């Protein structure tokens, strides 16, 4: 019997995502001026206030207030009527030094013997459902909000948009797990108070369906475009007007959107958030490494869908386990346990090996903090960092290295494909 599956995403102006972006901007600046920085930075945002907290061990010093304000302004919180603005909000820093009890289990005489920064399990997932090996409902949800943000910044066709927004997509699947059609799309977007409520809500719904959605649909290949029929149920700002939003409407915290950040409810999640954490924290680095492994395994043809789990003990170098679930879609005549053994041999999951392989000691994290950490395109960019204490530096870095299909041939050779 056909079934429905739903995923959601939130915009860069959602208060939790504002917090994530501030935390990752701080991390990038620490890593830019001291690549060995150890950072675990949390951010809280609310009406007119930003609170920074966490633990840092670094040889550099930052103007954290300016960094936070720059992120907020870049997102689009620049007007007094939003009750939250980068130029006027208060910024309180409660950041202090990392615990030596934790650090002694991570730093070792040999970098190769670096222990895991914490215990826990991390998951990577990939599916042939989309070109970027991501679940389709989440991919569409991200695209809706990215295009909405483009329209907001352009300001000509939909001039009333404000930064806070959410999207949700429900897809009907067949018994054999193939997408059949888009069933429901929900879009809630913050907006100016520009007319009487009924007229305003009618205008917003019309613009979302007639201006936004055609641009979203055009970004997908034809086989996905066919799923967008005229029978889609649209809920646009279903609670009514959405003028009060952002950190004024809802307090934001770092790490509260972990399903949006990963696979939209597909696969699994170990529970650890990403943003604000340097790569010695395996919550982040091992989740990226597991995604890298899963994506290359699916691209190589080992399975049509795969989940990779890796787990750690704090201060211990080797993973405590590596698990694989192919959901019955394996193409190699091996059990999932046998596949897991080959994965362990192919992908070195020691913390330092992950850092080196994926080039994670670089300032590459702000770009991950909105619209998902997975499924983005790897690219080389030049980033500029300026500090009143450290001067100005330019660094060429590679973004989203865990999305590279650079191990496909190795996987094919190992599995005889």
Which residue numbers belong to the known binding site?
Answer: 14, 16, 42, 55, 98, 164-166, 241-242, 250, 256-257, 273, 277, 281
CA gap 359, 73 in Å, rounded: 29
234 beta partners: 185
Annotated binding site for K(+): 42
Annotated binding site for L-methionine: 55, 98, 250, 281
Dig out the tokens for 377 from the structure.
Answer: 């395109």
Cα-only R_g, the chain:
22
CA gap 312, 331 in Å, rounded: 29
CA gap 182, 137 in Å, rounded: 9
Annotated binding site for ATP: 14, 164-166, 241-242, 250, 256-257, 273, 277
CA gap 273, 256 in Å, rounded: 7
Dig out the tokens for 99 from the structure.
Answer: 């615990």
Annotated binding site for Mg(2+): 16
The answer to whether residues 25 and 387 touch, using CB atoms and an 8 Å cutoff, is no
Neighbours of 1 (CB within 10 A): 4
Give CA angle at 164 (161, 169), nearest 5°. Answer: 95
The answer to whether residues 41 and 369 touch, using CB atoms and an 8 Å cutoff, is no
For residue 83, CA distances in Å to 17, 34, 360, 375 come to 17, 35, 36, 34
What length does the chain have? 417
């Amino acid at each position: 019997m056909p079934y429905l599956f739903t995923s959601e995403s939130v915009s860069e102006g959602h208060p939790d995502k504002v917090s994530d972006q501030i935390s990752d901007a701080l991390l990038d600046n620490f890593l830019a001026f001291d690549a060995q920085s150890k950072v675990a930075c949390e951010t809280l945002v609310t009406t007119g206030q930003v609170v920074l907290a966490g633990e840092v061990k670094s040889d550099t010093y930052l103007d954290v207030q300016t960094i936070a304000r720059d992120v907020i302004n870049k997102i689009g919180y620049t007007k007094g009527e939003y009750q939250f603005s980068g130029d006027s909000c208060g910024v309180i820093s409660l950041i202090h030094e990392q615990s030596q009890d934790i650090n002694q289990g991570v730093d070792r005489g040999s970098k190769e013997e670096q222990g895991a920064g914490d215990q826990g399990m991390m998951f990577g997932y990939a599916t042939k459902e989309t070109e970027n090996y991501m679940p389709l409902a989440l991919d569409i949800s991200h695209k809706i909000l990215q295009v909405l943000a483009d329209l907001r910044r352009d300001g000509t066709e939909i001039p009333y948009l404000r930064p806070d927004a959410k999207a949700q997509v429900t897809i009907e699947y067949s018994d054999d797990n193939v997408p059949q059609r888009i069933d429901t799309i929900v879009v809630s977007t913050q907006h100016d108070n520009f007319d009487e409520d009924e007229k305003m809500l009618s205008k917003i719904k019309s613009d979302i369906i007639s201006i936004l959605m055609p641009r979203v649909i055009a970004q997908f290949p034809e086989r996905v475009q066919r799923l967008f029929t005229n029978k889609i149920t649209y809920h646009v700002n279903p609670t009514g007007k959405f003028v009060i939003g952002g950190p004024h409407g809802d307090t934001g915290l770092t790490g509260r959107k972990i399903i949006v950040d990963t696979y939209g409810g597909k696969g699994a999640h170990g529970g650890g958030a990403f943003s604000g954490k340097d790569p010695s924290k395996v919550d982040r680095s091992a989740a990226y490494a597991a995604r890298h492994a899963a994506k290359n395994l699916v691209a190589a043809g080992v399975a049509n869908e795969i989940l990779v789990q890796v787990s750690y003990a704090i201060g211990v170098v080797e993973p405590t386990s590596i698990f694989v679930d192919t959901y019955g879609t394996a193409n190699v005549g091996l059990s999932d346990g046998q596949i897991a053994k080959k994965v362990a041999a192919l992908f070195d999951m020691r913390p330092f090996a992950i850092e080196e392989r994926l080039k994670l000691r670089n300032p590459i994290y702000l770009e991950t903090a909105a619209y998902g950490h997975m499924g983005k395109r790897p690219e080389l960019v030049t980033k500029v960092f300026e500090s009143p204490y450290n001067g100005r530096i330019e660094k060429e870095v590679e973004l989203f290295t865990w999305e590279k299909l650079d191990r496909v041939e190795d996987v094919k050779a190992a599995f005889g494909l």
